[in-house]
């Protein structure tokens, strides 16, 4: 949809008045450094006007926003391997995917899992194999550099389990040298450790189909050998060193050996019943659009599993599944005009739409503006009103949440639900009763999803078993869903805006957040990078809930943010902070992370501080002529460190929100619904 120039009310005329000159904005920045808040405000007004117009122009005619969701090349490699396995790989798709994979290779021949990150072994192995499928020869310089690096790091044998599963599908790895996960896990009762509901929803959706794959151990003829990726091709499957027997790792290694032995004696009727149960579970969770959970990895493994169980490619379930996978492809052209194909691991329209609505409203767009009303209508239609997997732990709780994606009724989440509520409350809708009822249902569900410790996780309740992460099978990232500070903060903020900050559930969440503050004054960010994100979520929530800016926890947060502000005035944090505390709050300045820091500082009452003025000036100085910001860095997380995300709309919605709050203050006072 193309926005009209009067769409942003009084804001947009300032665009023509200000123009966009890097020199002019730099002058404003210099004036700001010299103590001219009026100049900073003028720069913020111009940047807000441009950003508002840009964001309005990106709205879909149905009312939603969606930016590209960029992850890493394992998505593209596994998509090609799936098509090779099913016999449906075509030249056009392969060439376009290969162009994207090659474009992401680092100078040392490796592939990273986030922009500017170090080479990662499994990603490099999978990218290399995908390029071999595309016809790249092993002796080409970029391929030889990759294979040499892989061998130096231990070869295929040192890669993650999921990488070796993909290779086992083609005989490049031995199935018997992979950890065992039998389909009989389907029969474990819900109270028993390691039942499927002890795993986070994303892991559960992946593990169930992989139990089918592991039970069948299929091998398709490999189109080429991969000797160059082994440290010793004569001994490609070296045994891994045993863990000490008296440790949990040692126990689970012995358990894995026992499961391998069980495979040889498994009762066939029981195995068949388990496979049938897994098939029913998979089919029952297919969404209306053919996908599973709205995310690509479970869809890929579900398609493979069902094909092994006898579903042919023309079966409605598989046909819909394959069609859904095509919708994860983002096509564009490279500098030579050649088609390039990138695979999204997921799509984020609900999340992007609620964040865009909040940004536009906080930037001063009229609450009854047609763009906001249309966005609200679309979000209201997306509310999930039937039970999903969450109801296993909360069987009596009434549904009413929102999911992250276009179609995902089985796995709505607390984070989206809280933010959609905050977005809807900013809109003056022509049918307020409809909004009120949706918000009531949503908050009833959200409050009911509180875990025992008084906090909230993303998808499930009390999904905190220590055992799933110990399994040798589960080395692909986080496989449980414990409560986090950022999700809990969003719930507390929604409760506070609804006037329920004194509700015992809200107070419990506040107490949990205060207890979770790091010694330095920051909060850990589970779903965004990292301490800047966590702090940017928690501080506004605590202030909304009534904590004064003078509260010691808030003063420590302010001091930490000021201490990690970059010399250029922005904020940034590298993903390495998830593994190395020396990286906390350190990294190249980004638009989204600068905005998160500003949101916290503004909420804490620091509007006129030098840190805020420098941050606002940085946003104004780095804005592009079209009103957007550039941000190659990954500031979102799927699994901390292991799976990183570049949300392409973050660079737009969060800066606009921060600029709007700088200009207009906090969005609104508490209200009863």
Query: Are the C-beta atoms of 313 and 319 separated by less than 8 Å?
Result: yes
- Nearest partner of 428 among 355, 509, 368, judged by Cα: 368
Region 206-233: mean pLDDT is 95
Nearest to 388 by CA among 320, 484, 292: 292
Quick one: pLDDT at residue 30?
45
Known catalytic residues are 415
Nearest Cα residue to 486 out of 527, 518, 519, 445? 527
In this prediction, what percent of the chain has a pLDDT beyond 90? 86
Q: Please give the pLDDT value at position 666.
A: 75
pLDDT in tens, 467-496: 998 888 777 778 999 999 999 999 999 999
Please give the class, per CATH, of domain 13-67+348-449+484-664: mainly alpha
Work out the widest C-alpha separation in the chain, in whole angstroms. 79
Right CATH number for 70-343 from 3.30.1490.110, 3.40.390.30, 1.50.10.20, 2.30.30.90? 1.50.10.20
Q: Using one digit for the tens of pLDDT, what is the confidence trace for 161-204?
A: 999 999 999 999 999 999 999 999 999 999 999 999 999 999 99
Q: Do domains 13-67+348-449+484-664 and 70-343 have the same CATH topology?
A: yes
Residue range 340-365: mean pLDDT, rounded: 97
User: 469 vs 17, 249, 392, 393, 478, CA distance in Å?
Assistant: 57, 10, 21, 20, 7
Task: Give 329-350 pLDDT, tens digit per residue.
Answer: 999 999 999 999 999 999 999 9
**In the predicted structure, residue 35 carries a pLDDT above the cut 80:** no
pLDDT tens sequence across 80-113: 999 999 999 999 999 999 999 999 999 999 999 9
pLDDT digit string, tens, across residues 114-158: 999 999 999 999 999 999 999 999 999 999 999 999 999 999 999
- Delimit the domains of the chain by residue range: 13-67+348-449+484-664, 70-343
Q: Are 146 and 121 in contact (CB under 8 A)?
A: no
In this prediction, residue 20 carries a pLDDT of: 36
**pLDDT digit string, tens, across residues 292-307:** 999 998 999 999 999 9
Residue 309 has pLDDT above 90, yes or no: yes
pLDDT tens figures, 4-30: 333 333 333 222 233 333 333 344 444
Please name the helix (run of DSSP H) or strand (run of DSSP E) that holds residue 636, with its range, or none.
Answer: strand 636-639
| Of 11-25, 144-158, 513-527, 565-579, the least confident | 11-25
Q: What is the DSSP letter of 158?
A: G
pLDDT number for residue 668: 60
Confidence of residue 36 (pLDDT cuts 50, 70, 90): low
Confidence of residue 208 (pLDDT cuts 50, 70, 90): very high
């Amino acid at each position: 949809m193309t926005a009209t120039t009067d769409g942003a009310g009084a804001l947009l005329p300032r665009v023509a008045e200000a123009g966009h000159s890097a020199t002019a904005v730099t002058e404003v920045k210099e004036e700001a450094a010299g103590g001219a808040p009026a100049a900073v405000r003028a720069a913020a007004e111009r940047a807000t006007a441009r950003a508002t117009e840009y964001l309005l122009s990106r709205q879909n005619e149905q009312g939603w926003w969606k930016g590209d969701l960029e992850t890493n090349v394992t998505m593209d490699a596994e998509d090609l391997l799936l098509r090779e396995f099913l016999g449906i790989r075509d030249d056009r798709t392969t060439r376009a995917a290969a162009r994207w994979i090659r474009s992401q290779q680092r100078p040392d021949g490796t592939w990273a899992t986030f922009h500017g990150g170090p080479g990662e072994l499994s990603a490099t192995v999978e990218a290399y194999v995908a390029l071999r499928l595309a016809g790249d020869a092993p002796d080409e310089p970029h391929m030889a550099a990759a294979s040499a690096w892989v061998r130096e790091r231990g070869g295929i044998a040192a890669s993650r389990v999921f990488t070796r599963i993909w290779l086992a599908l083609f005989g490049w790895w031995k199935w018997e040298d992979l950890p065992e996960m039998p389909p009989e896990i389907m029969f474990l009762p819900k109270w028993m450790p390691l039942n499927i509901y002890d795993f986070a929803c994303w892991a559960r959706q992946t593990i169930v189909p992989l139990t089918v794959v592991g039970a069948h151990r299929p091998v398709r003829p490999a189109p080429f050998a991969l000797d160059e990726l082994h440290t010793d091709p004569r001994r490609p499957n070296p045994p891994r060193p045993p863990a000490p027997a008296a440790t949990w790792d040692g126990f689970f290694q012995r358990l894995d050996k026992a499961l391998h032995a069980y495979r040889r004696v498994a009762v066939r009727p029981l195995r068949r019943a388990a496979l049938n149960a897994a098939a029913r579970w998979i089919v029952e969770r297919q969404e209306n659009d053919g996908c599973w959970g709205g995310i690509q990895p479970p869809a890929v493994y579900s398609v493979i599993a069902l094909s092994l169980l006898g579903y042919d490619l023309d079966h409605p379930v598989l046909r819909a599944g394959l069609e859904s996978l095509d919708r994860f492809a983002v096509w564009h052209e490279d500098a030579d005009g050649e088609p390039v194909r990138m695979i999204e691991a997921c799509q984020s329209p609900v999340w992007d739409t609620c964040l865009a609505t909040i940004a536009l409203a906080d930037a001063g767009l009229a609450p009854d503006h047609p763009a906001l009303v249309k966005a609200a209508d679309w979000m209201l239609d997306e509310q999930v009103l039937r039970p999903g997997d969450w109801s296993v732990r909360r069987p009596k709780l009434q549904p009413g949440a929102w999911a992250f994606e276009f179609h995902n009724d089985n796995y709505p989440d607390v984070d989206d639900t809280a933010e959609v509520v905050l977005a809807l409350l900013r809109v003056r809708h022509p049918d307020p009763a409809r909004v009120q009822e949706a918000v009531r249902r949503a908050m009833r569900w959200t409050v009911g999803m509180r875990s025992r410790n008084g906090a909230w996780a993303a998808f499930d309740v009390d999904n905190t078993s220590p055992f799933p992460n110990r399994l040798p099978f589960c080395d692909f990232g986080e496989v449980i869903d414990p409560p986090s500070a950022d999700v809990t903060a969003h719930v507390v903020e929604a409760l506070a805006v609804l006037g329920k900050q004194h509700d015992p559930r809200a107070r419990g969440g506040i107490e949990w957040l205060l207890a979770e503050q790091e010694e330095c004054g920051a909060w850990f960010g589970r779903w965004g990078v990292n301490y800047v994100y966590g702090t940017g979520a928690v501080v506004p929530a605590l202030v909304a809930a009534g904590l004064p800016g003078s509260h010691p926890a808030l003063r420590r947060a302010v001091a930490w943010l000021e201490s990690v502000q970059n010399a250029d005035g922005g904020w940034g944090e590298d993903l390495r902070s998830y593994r190395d505390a020396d990286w906390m709050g350190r990294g190249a300045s980004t638009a989204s992370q600068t905005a998160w820091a500003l949101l916290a500082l503004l909420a804490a009452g620091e509007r006129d501080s030098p840190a805020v003025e420098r941050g606002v000036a940085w946003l104004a100085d780095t804005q592009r002529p079209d009103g957007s910001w550039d941000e190659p860095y990954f500031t979102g997380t799927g699994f901390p460190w292991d799976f990183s995300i570049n949300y392409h709309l973050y660079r737009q919605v969060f800066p606009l929100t921060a600029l709007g709050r700088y200009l207009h203050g906090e969005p609104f006072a508490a209200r009863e619904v």
